[in-house]
Structure 1
């Protein structure tokens, strides 16, 4: 039986033009990816729907909130869930807490429920947590039913339902997650399969495509082989199959996808891994140059070309690391391979990737005069973008080959591609005009203050992580008002007015002419009133700029070791 439906929206290769504001006001694009203080965006973010998932396994013990948990390395953790790239639609929270370290781990789970989960939900991302097939889906039930004074043979549907609710509460609800992932990596007996079938069916009443909330929950099957016995009877309970094929090319993808196709159609999501620290046994080498010979390219492009369900990566925080000098250290990553796998598997065109890169360079160049901690200049990055022959090279042109080597460590090609649809050309021109006026001696001091405020607000907005079309319009309106205030309103010429009053009248040279003192006085009053009018306009600019800045601020802002394939 194939999976009956796709139960949730898929994340896009690009962000919609009408994406909701979520700029991180305190974090510019040049801020390190490792930023423990990055606040969660204050407004909802959404993405377009597409046909493919992209899931990342997030190793919780490497989050910045965990210190000294499940590790013997002294290095500080650098990643937070705010660093998860755009285009990801599922985050698998993968965690192991050794006995005695529960207190050290608790800050992560507190933040997960209070901050991380709401933030990721605002981006349309679902969070799932793995449960071990043998430990939870089989032996866990045996322990549960024994506690009820029964044997497995005596278990009723109500018993399975009660156990399912307990599993959901413990592993999912307690930390604010959306679903579960059954991790099956062994060869269960027929008796084990009978139990797991019943447990999975009971769980599927509450999560996944057969539940009452198929769009708000998720149920995954996660495996590293084609043993179909524990899966085929319950295939319709799952959203998709995540297939661990670490260290393998797309040849393995094709074989395994064919094995599962009779039961799930194309809802097959192969996954690769990055090198884990301290792993003295496995050598997967999935992400290694040259790019077009790497497993990452082969699998991501195969997913796109054969319209599979998507792709996943394990150990996101180890993106770009190797089995040599990185084996015993924790260092930050620019997530180049993951970001490229997202764009490749989602089918982004090279020209789109180049346009996104140049768009990013254009807006970040506004800030480079004051922030110059990047590895290469705008011009150097542009040259590399132009020479790029594939998506990896286009992304690497901006991100660099490793953390600290590029123009930006936080550039996100999927996010930037979505911003291409927001027209900023007028605003960019206004920023240039404003800079000229600020540097001009003829511009009044008061007008310069208002102009600088409006211009800087626009630059801060355009160089933030994300912005909306409405925000761009607000910044543009504030700048226009400030620019208009630098041009004085013309004062009528009294003589010209006098000439117009005599138009059509006979000019009698013998007629005595009496000076119009009232008119002269009025003319003088007009001249004296002009500065007051400018001052009044300036006050209006301040109000408009304040409103624009306020808008920008409001809207801008598990097992001890990894499963082995």
Structure 2
């Protein structure tokens, strides 16, 4: 794993959809291993990529070492439902065993730097308590509470008043809010729901590149670059504070024009320019 500490602000993170990797699908032109050094954390977003797909061996043996060489950490994303696996009892021992299984299979087996939990569901009280129990066990193994240099990340489209987050907020290295399509004017209100529990230096907001075939119509990355929502997000700061940075979803579609469904090779032009934007006050 990458041992050097990361800056707390001006970070850029990116979700790459693995089914668009050219090893996972030879008809596709892009490679997870080509994610540029401007990305501080690259997320393995693994839909439609079964365990037997050659992507996973290439990820461990080629992509991760190459990204580490550039200073990019690699984190696996999984859904909150993984923390509610009914094959494990809802007990302290069950929570610990499930956490160990998840970290072994999703992080260690691929030589990755941490785990990202995607939280997009309102859970009932029993589910929330169970998920929080597993989160606390995960935090013993990965993230800032574990004593390792690994990451535990929480990403969500919900507010900071969600009950699982309320009981686990102190566990996470970073909290990512999927802000796709939202107005800049709405960002402060969302941050206000998180502010009582985490510092701004652990908070990122995210935009989405245009996915093919109308999978979303957020229109976050339409040209011109300078007036796009993505740039607005890079520039925005919470009142009286500095956020950790921004993230993108579907970075494998970097540079694709809105409503263009062609699968084309990317040069990560937006990602590179956003890095310059985030760091423009560093000189």
| Fold agreement, TM-score > 0.5 | yes
- Compute the displacement of 1:271 (Å): 0.5
Structure 1 equivalent of residue 135 of structure 2: 200
The change in CA–CA distance for 1:337 and 1:304 in structure 2 (over 3 A counts) is farther
Q: Identify which of 257, 268, 278 aligns with 1:335.
A: 268
Q: How does 1:108-507 map to 2 (within 5 A)?
A: 108-133=55-80, 135-138=81-84, 140=85, 142-145=86-89, 152=90, 155=91, 157-213=92-148, 216-226=149-159, 227-266=161-200, 267-279=202-214, 282-303=216-237, 306-324=241-259, 326-327=260-261, 329-348=262-281
The change in CA–CA distance for 1:50 and 1:219 in structure 2 (over 3 A counts) is closer
> Which secondary structure state, in structure 1, belongs to the residue aligned with residue 141 of structure 2?
coil
Q: Which whole-Å CA distance do the structure 2 matches of 1:259 and 1:347 have between them?
A: 29
Structure 1 residues 323-355: Cα deviation after superposition (integer angstroms, max 9, x where no partner): 43x22x211122222211122123357xx7xxx
Q: Which whole-Å CA distance do the structure 1 matches of 2:126 and 2:139 have between them?
A: 20
Q: Which whole-Å CA distance do the structure 2 matches of 1:218 and 1:88 have between them?
A: 15
- Compute the displacement of 1:291 (Å): 3.0
Q: Which whole-Å CA distance do the structure 2 matches of 1:177 and 1:198 have between them?
A: 23
Q: Which whole-Å CA distance do the structure 2 matches of 1:241 and 1:8 have between them?
A: 20
- Compute the displacement of 1:116 (Å): 0.9
Q: Identify which of 46, 50, 74 aligns with 1:95.
A: 46
- Compute the displacement of 1:51 (Å): 2.8
Structure 1 equivalent of residue 13 of structure 2: 55
Which stretches of structure 1, 4 residues or longer, exceed 4 Å deviation after superposition? Answer: 303-306
TM-score by length of 2: 0.90
> Would the aligned equivalents of 1:250 and 1:298 in 2 still touch at CA under 8 Å?
yes
Q: Which whole-Å CA distance do the structure 1 matches of 2:175 and 2:181 have between them?
A: 18
> Which secondary structure state, in structure 2, belongs to the residue aligned with residue 262 of structure 1?
coil
Structure 2 equivalent of residue 558 of structure 1: none
Q: Which whole-Å CA distance do the structure 2 matches of 1:320 and 1:284 have between them?
A: 15
> Which secondary structure state, in structure 1, belongs to the residue aligned with residue 28 of structure 2?
coil
Residue 78 in 1 paired to residue 29 in 2? Answer: yes
Q: Which has the higher strand share?
A: 2
Question: Structure 2 regions of 5+ residues with no counterpart?
Answer: none
- Compute the displacement of 1:206 (Å): 0.7
> Would the aligned equivalents of 1:245 and 1:252 in 2 still touch at CA under 8 Å?
no
Q: Which whole-Å CA distance do the structure 2 matches of 1:83 and 1:195 have between them?
A: 38
> Which secondary structure state, in structure 1, belongs to the residue aligned with residue 205 of structure 2?
strand
Structure 1 residues 157-193: Cα deviation after superposition (integer angstroms, max 9, x where no partner): 3332122111111111111111111111111111111
Structure 1 residues 209-230: Cα deviation after superposition (integer angstroms, max 9, x where no partner): 10021xx200001101214211
Q: Which whole-Å CA distance do the structure 2 matches of 1:346 and 1:259 have between them?
A: 27
> Which secondary structure state, in structure 2, belongs to the residue aligned with residue 264 of structure 1?
coil
> Would the aligned equivalents of 2:37 and 2:72 in 1 still touch at CA under 8 Å?
no
- Compute the displacement of 1:87 (Å): 2.4
> Which secondary structure state, in structure 1, belongs to the residue aligned with residue 164 of structure 2?
coil
Q: Which whole-Å CA distance do the structure 2 matches of 1:91 and 1:189 have between them?
A: 31
> Would the aligned equivalents of 2:79 and 2:119 in 1 still touch at CA under 8 Å?
yes
Q: Which whole-Å CA distance do the structure 1 matches of 2:136 and 2:51 have between them?
A: 32
Structure 1 residues 10-60: Cα deviation after superposition (integer angstroms, max 9, x where no partner): 2xxxxxxxxxxxxxxxxxxxxxxxxxxxxxxxxxxxxxx463321110111
Q: Which whole-Å CA distance do the structure 2 matches of 1:238 and 1:136 have between them?
A: 17
- Compute the displacement of 1:316 (Å): 0.8
Q: Which whole-Å CA distance do the structure 2 matches of 1:258 and 1:8 have between them?
A: 31
Q: Which whole-Å CA distance do the structure 2 matches of 1:53 and 1:317 have between them?
A: 19
> Which secondary structure state, in structure 1, belongs to the residue aligned with residue 116 of structure 2?
strand
> Which secondary structure state, in structure 1, belongs to the residue aligned with residue 197 of structure 2?
helix
- Compute the displacement of 1:303 (Å): 4.3
